[in-house]
Amino acid sequence: MSNFPPAEPHGPIEEIFTDVYWVTGSVQFKPLVRLARNMIILRNGDELTLVNAVRLNEEGEAALAKLGTVKHVIKIGFHDMDDAYYIDRYGAKYWAVPREGETGDVELAEDTELPIPNARVFMFRDTKLPEAALLLEREGGLLITCDSIQHWAPHKLMSGAAKLITRIMGFRFPAQIGPPWRGVQTPEGGSLKADFERLAQLPFSHIVGGHGGLLKNDGQARLAETMTRVFG
């Protein structure tokens, strides 16, 4: 397993809702720029599904083992640097957005039956590269994203330079559509407004993305504010 990226600094596994957990990890993006990133852990019996996977240290893996066994890894966006580690270590099944030159055991689509009860896939239709979000239909609805929506909240794992740079880049609002992500994913002369209008109609109260904090209870309202600010 020495060929895989090593575990980076991260926090503890924390419970969001029953059988839903998250870990805030980090990645050295550039010299002096350490960004925070999130992994979501979904438990179904003794099976664990990881979304936006983050490799854990030995203590973190011991805590993960207490929850169950990793059986599935889901890639919904650009975050995949630790996917191969979990697939190799646990023999996990790989669920991924269908991108050219990249393969998974299962390609995500809106009719994909996920290995978690009361969960479904949302696919962006107008992005340059395939992108997904997951909706967990319990506890008022939890929307799980990668870079598309981030409830931005600076974290102690972020370096000072990262906090400054991300603010300059425009990360400063709740339920924010990621500015760099929008730049990369918007077709020339096109718009992602229709995608977000469809997404905003999903029944969710909470949002957690691949970066940032957990937004509880007023996710739809905060996303509506973002859409007005971004799309008019």
CATH number where 38 lies: 3.60.15.10
Q: How far apart are CA 163 and CA 154, in angstroms?
A: 6
3 assigned to some structural domain: no
Angle, vertex CA 74, rays to CA 70 and CA 76, nearest 5: 160
Q: Are strands 214-215 and 206-208 parallel, antiparallel or unpaired?
A: antiparallel
Give 195 or 28, the one with higher predicted confidence.
195
Share of the chain above pLDDT 90, in %: 78
Start-to-end CA distance of the chain, whole Å, equals 48
> How much is the mean pLDDT over the chain?
92
- The secondary element (H helix, E strand) that includes residue 165 is helix 160-168
Quick one: pLDDT at residue 154? 63
Instruction: Tally the domains of the chain.
Output: 1
Give domain status of residue 8, yes or no.
Answer: no
Answer yes or no: is 6 within a domain.
no
User: Is there a domain that residue 153 lies in?
Assistant: yes
Domain that holds residue 22: 14-231
9 within domain boundaries: no
The reply to whether 192 falls in a domain is: yes
pTM: 0.93
- Cβ–Cβ under 8 Å, residues 162 and 33: yes
